[in-house]
Amino acid sequence: MRAVCWYGKGDVRVETVPDPSILNPRDAIVRVTLTAICGSDLHIYNGHIPGMERGDILGHEFMGEVVEVGAQVRNLKRGDRVVVPFTICCGKCYFCQSQQWSLCDNTNPNAPALHKLYGASGAGLFGYSHLYGGYAGGQSQFVRVPFAGVAPIVVDNDLTDEQVLFLSDILPTGFMAADNCNIHAGDVVAVWGCGPVGQFAIRSAYLLGAEKVIAIDDVPERLRLARERSGAITINCATTDVMAELNDLTAGRGPDSCIDAVGMEAHGYGLAYAYDRTKQALMMETDRPGVLRQAIAACRKGGTLSIPGVYGGFIDNVPIGSAFAKGLTLRMGQTHVPRYLPTLMRRIREHEIDPTFIISHRTRLEDAPEAYKVFNQDKGACTKVVMKPS
């Protein structure tokens, strides 16, 4: 089969590789009909994710048709059309059984390594380094899906691939970011980052009852999308004093909730940004926390900071004193995808959310190297790439 493989920083290629096969009794093989490049794939592309090996197959946003099931797969059958969540979940551990799916105890074969790094391991992830299990990803014609009867959701034929594909990651990720804000009537929510997750977080915050959502980014096209498609008030952080603007928009209160939908590769301005870039380049700081600092500083007393953006390591100069003084709640982590699938499926069907609006590029899997390049370089023109394996 053909698959998108990673060979190093900035080096992805489409290669012919062996077809996947059933390795464990609860596996299934899925023929991929549509897949996407995630913003977090760019963290890999740019060499920020440790634990990658040359030749690893990328991709954790994909869907397709079940073509083979293992002996112990109970609730999926050949021919089922499924969206596959990026977190692999066993369904049997304490965490799966308490709806904290991304913290699954049992799906990361390399859990001891991650345990050493973080003190614990969560779920194995598709196409996201050997620290998360080294599972082959779904930017390929076929993919092995472990524990296939647990997290994947069967979709009806009246919904198109493009409508449901983003249930695999970014739609529930944006939704959980808003859900974590515990939104009440009258709340103002500020969202840093207007990539796909930010866009869905804005939409979700309104759906969950926010009065006003403020979107912050430095890419005019993405801000326009947030304004036009989701009704956000926008702040261009390249040209505007964000703190002053937030202060004004909330009449001194600060946003009730702040969402950091940027994560560890935050771009920024000024001295603090130069400091973070230098330290990151010297490997003294792995993540650049510019957005996190600003969100903590901006958030109102007693407010919530929700972090869907990915962090992988260490950060400096985070104003924890401010967070403490204001009694903030911090919520973060990988998305508990299956928790949100039924409600999001319903909202898609009832046209409360049309996730297709973020798609800017439709291409063939064969064109993945170019698509990665464009997505990485042109944040204005490129919000989301979906790819069809032929």
Partner 1 sequence: MAGAGLIRRGLTGKCEIYTLLGMRSLPSGKPVPYELGVRARAAVTINQPREKVFAFLRQFENLPRVMRHLKSVEENGEGRSHWVAEGPMGKSVCWDAEILNEERDRLIAWKSLPGSQVDQAGSLRFHDAPGGRGTEVRAELQYNPPAGVVGAYVARFFDREPEQEIVADFQRLKQYLETGEIASTEDQSHGRTEPEKKVLPAMEEAMA
- Residues found near partner 1 in the complex (CB under 8 A): 1, 3, 5, 7, 13, 15, 17-21, 23-26, 50-57, 72, 88, 90-94, 97, 105-113, 115-117, 124, 130-131, 133-136, 140, 144, 146-147
**Cα–Cα dist 34/56, whole Å:** 19
Q: Closest CB to partner 1 among 64 and 195?
A: 64
Q: Closest CB to partner 1 among 185 and 282?
A: 282
Query: Given the structure tokens 């958030």, which residue do they identify?
Result: 299
Q: Which of 165, 161, 167, 266 is nearest to 217 (CA)?
A: 266
Direct distance between the N- and C-terminal alpha carbons of the chain, in angstroms, rounded to an integer: 10
Q: Closest CB to partner 1 among 51 and 196?
A: 51
The helix/strand/coil state of 102 is: helix
Q: Closest CB to partner 1 among 124 and 303?
A: 124
Smallest distance from the beta carbon of 375 to partner 1, in angstroms? 20
Q: Closest CB to partner 1 among 47 and 112?
A: 112
Q: Are strands 81-84 and 153-154 parallel, antiparallel or unpaired?
A: antiparallel
Query: Given the structure tokens 């990915």, which residue do they identify?
Result: 310
Maximal C-alpha separation, the chain:
61
**Cα–Cα dist 13/318, whole Å:** 38
Q: Beta strands of the chain (E only): which ranges? A: 2-8, 11-16, 28-37, 56-57, 61-69, 81-84, 87-88, 124-125, 142-145, 153-154, 188-192, 212-217, 233-236, 257-260, 304-307, 329-332, 361-364, 385-388
CB atoms within 10 A of CB 383: 22
Smallest distance from the beta carbon of 271 to partner 1, in angstroms? 31
Q: Which of 250, 260, 238, 122 is nearest to 187 (CA)?
A: 250
Smallest distance from the beta carbon of 338 to partner 1, in angstroms? 16
Smallest distance from the beta carbon of 59 to partner 1, in angstroms? 12
**Cα–Cα dist 96/26, whole Å:** 16
Q: Closest CB to partner 1 among 189 and 368?
A: 368
Smallest distance from the beta carbon of 96 to partner 1, in angstroms? 9
Pair of tokens at residue 287: 């993540």
Smallest distance from the beta carbon of 337 to partner 1, in angstroms? 18
Q: Closest CB to partner 1 among 152 and 195?
A: 152
**Cβ–Cβ under 8 Å, residues 133 and 125:** yes
Smallest distance from the beta carbon of 19 to partner 1, in angstroms? 7
Smallest distance from the beta carbon of 283 to partner 1, in angstroms? 11
Q: Closest CB to partner 1 among 91 and 319?
A: 91
Smallest distance from the beta carbon of 275 to partner 1, in angstroms? 25
State the DSSP string of 181-249: T---TT-EEEEE--SHHHHHHHHHHHHTT-SEEEEEES-HHHHHHHHHHH--EEEETTTS-HHHHHHHH
Q: Closest CB to partner 1 among 175 and 372?
A: 372
